[in-house]
Structure 1
Amino acid sequence: MSEAERTLVDKSESSSFEDLASAAAQEIEEAKLAEVAAAEKDRPAETKTEEWQDVLGSGSLLKKSLKQGDESTGLRPHRSDICRISYEVKIRDSGEIVEKRDQVKIYLGDNEILQGLDLALTLMYKGEECLLQIAPRFAYGDIGLKPGESLGLVGEVDSPKYSGPAIDSDTWLEARLELHDWTEEPEHETLPIAERMETGIRRRARGNWWYGRGEPQLAVQLYRRALDVLDESEGGITDPTPSGDIAPSSDALKALLEERMRVHNNMAAAQLKAGAYDAALQAVTRVLSCQPSNAKALYRKSRILSAMGRNSEALEAARAAAAAAPDDAGARKELQRCEQKATRDRSVERRLAKRMLGTDQPKPASPDKKPSRAKMLVWGSLLLSLLVGVASVLVYRYKMQEH
């Protein structure tokens, strides 16, 4: 585990803390948009197409109508509505085209398009066309976009790569956006399995794109939305028919289950990256309850438990992951890391135990097997002095006897 991972704070007091944070941010944005919408409604019609509208009041998202929409009903799309739109995004200063889409279907509020486009759609009427100036914060953010990176186009798992000049953290974009029409999102239980699979996969793919850009919380939102449409309904998922008696094939259910497991796995990785350890553990637990030998889930469980400081459980999960996928280099590396961590922990525990028991006192130095040269000189001098003394006594006694 990297130093950065070790210092992450567990923010997951509830399993959906990131949803609460994003919901609060969404409420703020929606409140601002509601104010702007009310002000715009009161303005004379002739001025609506002639001036830039500061959507959020901060100058970071400007909107100018090019063609008026149908305002007769006063209705605008809301979050989760399915909008059919066309748009072209350019770099504002150079005019280079970043991406262009015609008649594409998006779920409003799902972060399937740039946030600036998403916000502007909530202020548009059916048939309206507008021009937008979008600050980096509501475009490609601090990360930007480099040539060769994925555009993450909605509805495309293998999205095309960006081929224009680099978009930096201070690059403004300009977009032409048209709202053709919209419909409410249908109840998931009424959708055929094939359509549910398609929607779930597109949301997972977009979530993967956000995760790859270092935006785990946005990725989690997409993964949760994918699970909404992939979850089983009461009595099991069925392909709707007029009579309701045709059950789906086992292959369809198996494919749906596999897709759900992929989404749960990916969501666990994003939650781990965001520091939501409890929520991440819940996600892999759901996978392992259905697929106990899922190597990817076991690997991520080990990483999550390590981040939580539950090292012995992490080692157990790492061993299970390595057993489930013996040829997987990542699983082997994780097991090695956990084993090294366990060895270090045991060493620390032994040292602490010795200190507590007072058995860690240093041992006395053992005597030298051979006396050093200095010691030999000292002993030699003492012996010589002794011999001289004895000789003096003997000489004195001998002289006394002669007298």
Structure 2
Amino acid sequence: MSEEERTLVDKSESSSFEDLASAAAHEIEEAKIAEAAAAEKEKIAEPKTDEWQDVLGSGALLKKILKPGKDSESRPNRSDICRISYEIKIRDTGDLVEKRDQVKIYLGDNEVLQGMDLALTLMHEGEENFLQLAPRFAYGETGLKTGESLGTVGELDGPKYDGPNIGPETWLEVRLELHDWNEEPEHETLPIAERMQIGTRRRARGNWWYGRGEPILAVQLYRRALDVLDESEGGITDPTPSGQMAPTSDALKALLDERLRVHNNMAAAQLKAGAYDAALQAVTRVLQCQPDNAKALYRKSRILSAMGRNSEALEAARAAAAAAPDDSGTKKELQRCEQRANRDRSVERRLAKRMLGTSDQPKGSPDKKPSRAKMFVWGSLLLSLLVGVASVLVYRYKLQH
């Protein structure tokens, strides 16, 4: 395989896609900001007063300071833990979307709407702002329907949205206050229970972004979850040769299970993003510890199919169906792989026949030899007829003379 072909198949190479997720998300965000700036510039119909600050220079993110913060040059940085309060409403109707007080978020992880995350990087301690968010920096083209999850930070089963549907053209207004912030602590200094809490919340938020068709942002959250769930002891990063985990404490076992769930989810997001090798690495880590994990085997089959490795995909699909025989998803995947394998065998047979010069006709069907025999018979009959006619003509000629 050439370098160019490998680049098309594997977007991550061997450097691990998840290690590049943060940088990739940042680059994509910059591109989206520039794109939104061009798209939204013509949509601002109403004039803004001098009180409003146009943060991006495009009218897509507007800011009005309601309460100045401390007179300091210090502002929060990416990954800092910010303590904030906010209230989100639909701009045109005033309907409440979500309200939170004294909640802690990790800045840069998109644990809140992207426009809010961006605005926080420009705020000082104690500052309170009034924001207007264009759809791109709010709920995007997907919008938010009544009854859908708000993806509230820190809650696995958070509240559902109960207001009117938010469409792809809906602007939001936000009251946002930054109380204070702290640097993120070293993960090694945190107890296992706190690691579990942080890792679970990041997985839940990653799932929310994945469900909204944003696999890159999902991978970013999953990667951040793995950072805090990592534990070098107890077999979490070094499973035993048999693939089974050595006996360990219940707390470490729970940490491992959560870590494997994150790897499984990240494989799905990387598959959706087209980073097939990275997705295969993620799902392989799960199977090293849990060889009969049906979800991991199912995703391995999907990844291998996307890579064109159909025979390996069929093997993984069979293993997934054996591990979860009653699961409809694994059954459908096995059927797809078997149909693909049958098509591949059919193509191989046709190619082999062409190479060997054999015919595709059934054994009992007539070939060209019977056709030539028939032509010979008809030719003989015609010749006999001509000879007969000639004989009659000769006989009559003799009688006349």
Which band: TM-score by shorter chain?
0.7 to 0.9
Q: Which amino acid aligns with 2:80?
A: D
Partner of 1:106: 105
Partner of 1:123: 122
CA contact (8 A) 1:15 1:276 kept: no
Q: Give how far 1:278 is off.
A: 0.7
Check 1:108–1:361 CA distance in 2 against 1; reply closer, same or farther (3 A cut).
Answer: closer
Q: Distance in 1 between matches of 2:56 and 2:215?
A: 25
CA contact (8 A) 2:97 2:161 kept: yes
User: Structure 1-normalised TM-score?
Assistant: 0.80
Q: Secondary structure at the match of 2:112?
A: coil
Q: Aligned runs of 1:151-230 on 2, under 5 Å?
A: 151-230=150-229
Q: Give how far 1:340 is off.
A: 1.0
Q: Give how far 1:333 is off.
A: 1.3
Check 1:205–1:361 CA distance in 2 against 1; reply closer, same or farther (3 A cut).
Answer: closer
Partner of 2:25: 22
Unmatched 5+ stretches in structure 1: 1-7, 31-48, 238-247, 394-398
Check 1:261–1:213 CA distance in 2 against 1; reply closer, same or farther (3 A cut).
Answer: same
The yes-or-no answer on 1:343 pairing with 2:342 is yes
CA distances 1:323-365 after superposition (whole Å, capped 9, x unpaired): 1111211112111111111111011011011111222376616
Q: Secondary structure at the match of 2:93?
A: coil
Q: Which amino acid aligns with 1:189?
A: E
Question: Once superposed, which parts of structure 1, at least 4 consecutive aligned residues long, lie more than 6 Å away?
Answer: 27-30, 234-237
RMSD between aligned alpha carbons?
A: 3.4
Q: Distance in 2 between matches of 1:234 and 1:291?
A: 18
CA distances 1:247-279 after superposition (whole Å, capped 9, x unpaired): x97111111100000000000000001111011
CA contact (8 A) 2:234 2:252 kept: no
Q: Aligned runs of 1:364-403 on 2, under 5 Å?
A: 364=367
Q: How many residues align?
A: 360
Partner of 1:320: 319
Q: Give how far 1:100 is off.
A: 0.6
Q: Secondary structure at the match of 1:164?
A: coil
Partner of 1:352: 351
Q: Which amino acid aligns with 1:91?
A: I
Q: Which amino acid aligns with 1:20?
A: A
Partner of 2:148: 149
Q: Aligned runs of 1:11-160 on 2, under 5 Å?
A: 11-13=11-13, 14-16=15-17, 18-25=21-28, 51-72=51-72, 74-160=73-159
User: Structure 2-normalised TM-score?
Assistant: 0.80
CA contact (8 A) 1:78 1:122 kept: yes
Q: Secondary structure at the match of 2:144?
A: coil
Q: Distance in 1 between matches of 2:137 and 2:102?
A: 22
Q: Give how far 1:11 is off.
A: 2.9
Q: Which amino acid aligns with 2:367?
A: P
Q: Secondary structure at the match of 1:218?
A: helix
Q: Give how far 1:28 is off.
A: 8.0
Check 1:154–1:313 CA distance in 2 against 1; reply closer, same or farther (3 A cut).
Answer: same
CA distances 1:6-65 after superposition (whole Å, capped 9, x unpaired): xx96533353254432133467899xxxxxxxxxxxxxxxxxx97211112222111111
Identity of aligned residues (%): 77
Check 1:15–1:138 CA distance in 2 against 1; reply closer, same or farther (3 A cut).
Answer: same
Q: Give how far 1:167 is off.
A: 1.2
- Select the structure of larger CA radius of gyration: 1
